[in-house]
Amino acid sequence: MPQIPDLLTMLKSGVHFGHKISKRHPKMEPYIFGTKNGFHIINIEKTQVKLQEALEFIKKIVSNGGTILFLGTKKQAQTIIAKDAKDCGMPYITERWLGGTFTNFSAISKVIAKYKSLKEKRKKGELSKYTKKEQL
């Protein structure tokens, strides 16, 4: 079973390095320890607590037969994300993430349905009644 890394391991791994100060999100304020050279320093003690909470939540979801989507589009994370997701038998995304997939799913699902419909019409040759420009 996965274990939460100790503080020294997290520090050595660079977990405490945050974004530039200009990219700060207000909801992150409680988790920012300080700033250095124009970058935020993340409070790793609070990070450790939140990681433990996340691990417990994931255990609960999986034990109830739920699915966890692994998501990591940064180059450094792609290989690890894919490997770990495959090991767990869970879905994953390592390439471009379509914004709004969770937060605006109703709109995204309509676009997907329209795409599937057009793809099916194209396969059946039903798009030939449209002009070349409309077919695109």
- How far is the C-alpha of 38 from the C-alpha of 118, rounded, in Å? 49
Per-residue pLDDT, 136: 65
What's the predicted TM-score (pTM) here?
0.68
Per-residue DSSP letters for 91-129? -EE-S---TTTTTTHHHHHHHHHHHHHHHHHHHHTGGGG
pLDDT per residue as tens digits for the range 51-70: 999 999 999 999 999 999 99
Using 50, 70 and 90 to split pLDDT, how confident is the model at 97? confident
Which span out of 5-19, 77-91, 98-112, 122-136 was modeled with the highest average pLDDT? 77-91
Task: Delimit the domains of the chain by residue range.
Answer: 1-65, 67-97, 99-136
Dig out the tokens for 112 from the structure. 């997907």
